[in-house]
Amino acid sequence: MRLLLIDATADTSSRDYFDGYAAALKRAGVEIYVYNANGRIGVAASWLDYCWQKGKRLGEDRPRPNALDTLYHAGIWSLEMALRLDPDWIVVVAGMYFSKLNMQLLRKASYPFSKMALMICDAPFDDNQIVNCLGLYDQIFVNEQASVPIYQQFNPEVTYLPACYDPERHHPAIEIPEDTPSHDVLFVGSAFRERVDLLSAVDWTGIDFALYGNWSGLGSRSKLRQYVRGGPVGNDQAAQLYRAAKVCLNLHRSRLSSPPVPLPPGMAKSLNPRAYELAACGAFTLSDRRDELPAVFGDLVPTFSTPKELEGLIRAYVPAEPLRRSVAARLPAAVAGHTYDARTATLLEVLGRAEPLAARAG
């Protein structure tokens, strides 16, 4: 099977998602080619702005290029690559950074030679911005089980493909470098509003609490600023921090990306990648509640709903080293079947038996 992967991810956890699947597809013997739409966005923006500025100096009256123009130009050469390679499948990974017009042109250019699939890794937070693209694809893969029935209203061929982890990075046997900081409580992630509100309401007195990731948006008076110990970290460094900490936090998102309003009840059931990565590292974890947690972990991951519950768990478990170690030792086995290779086997099985959109239409 020959695949053209369109890398339309952001430089966050979706980057790890793309890299994980690309590596697993290669291990499975799939011939893959990559079009890096993400990496072209900055170049496209600079080029369009240069052309606009030059035109302005020459007296041309044109509207300034916007974000949609940039995404279109970053993705346009995927058409050439698709026509040249004639792949079995064109797989767009994380469609938020690939314009709908590019998707439509790829559909026209590839028909009837190639089939198209979309892999969504940020559901349900971007669902309201992606549903109008679903009808273009022969297959849809989504990381949130609650999104499946919604997507099926626009395209019946939807497969739930849960989050997963890379066992080469995330496992408990890696020796922790001596210069890795060790903290009582650790969270690696971004400063979404719901997380800031939760963590700000906890009394951290006497606790070595550490935040890593993108927390640059914190207000100048935020009490959390004193706990920011580092900026965005790569997955390898994050795994080292996980293994060195006494207690790690897993906080799921609970708001839409745009507008940033709370998700409707029942719209977020699935685990995020961090849940699997922490467990694979053998890191003792406290998590906010998700429907999928008991099915994967049983009672191995204590949960909370309020700042008061979180603080109580922290003060109970930070000093309880024997109990933490006993629980943490059982976590890798709980996620043993949730790797990129296992998810890729499901992906290839679905792609291998899929009918093209034209055949389903009649």
- In this structure, what CATH number is given to the domain that contains residue 279? 3.40.50.2000
**Nearest Cα residue to 321 out of 278, 284, 287:** 284
pLDDT of residue 357: 64
pLDDT of residue 153: 95
Whether pLDDT at 359 is above 60: no
**Count of residues making up the chain:** 362
pLDDT of residue 262: 86
Whether pLDDT at 37 is above 70: yes
Token readout for 310 is 């979180």
Mark whether 278 and 302 lie in a shared domain: yes
Q: How far apart are CA 24 and CA 192, in angstroms?
A: 30
Mark whether 222 and 303 lie in a shared domain: yes
For residues 296-325, give the mean pLDDT.
Answer: 97
Q: How far apart are CA 151 and CA 155, in angstroms?
A: 6
Other CB atoms within a 10 A radius of the CB of residue 325 amount to: 12
For residues 350-355, give the mean pLDDT.
Answer: 88
Q: What is the domain range of residue 235? A: 185-334
**pTM for the whole thing?**
0.92
Q: How many domains does the chain have?
A: 2
pLDDT by residue (tens digit) across 214-230?
999 898 899 999 999 99
User: Considering only 27-36, 76-85, 112-121, 348-357, which range has the smallest mean pLDDT?
Assistant: 348-357
Mark whether 258 and 310 lie in a shared domain: yes
pLDDT of residue 220: 87
Average pLDDT of the chain is 92
Mark whether 14 and 111 lie in a shared domain: yes
104, 105, 110, 112 alpha-carbon torsion, rounded to 10°: 60
Amino acid at 274: R
Whether pLDDT at 304 is above 60: yes
Q: Is residue 172 part of a domain?
A: no
Amino acid at 201: A
- DSSP per-residue codes, 9-72: --SSHHHHHHHHHHHHHHHTT-EEEEEEHHHHHHHHHHHHHHHHHHHHHTT---PPP-HHHHHH
Residue 362 — very low, low, confident or very high, per pLDDT cuts 50/70/90?
very low
Q: Is 334 in contact with 300 (CB distance < 8 Å)?
A: yes
pLDDT of residue 176: 84
**Nearest Cα residue to 82 out of 102, 54, 59:** 102
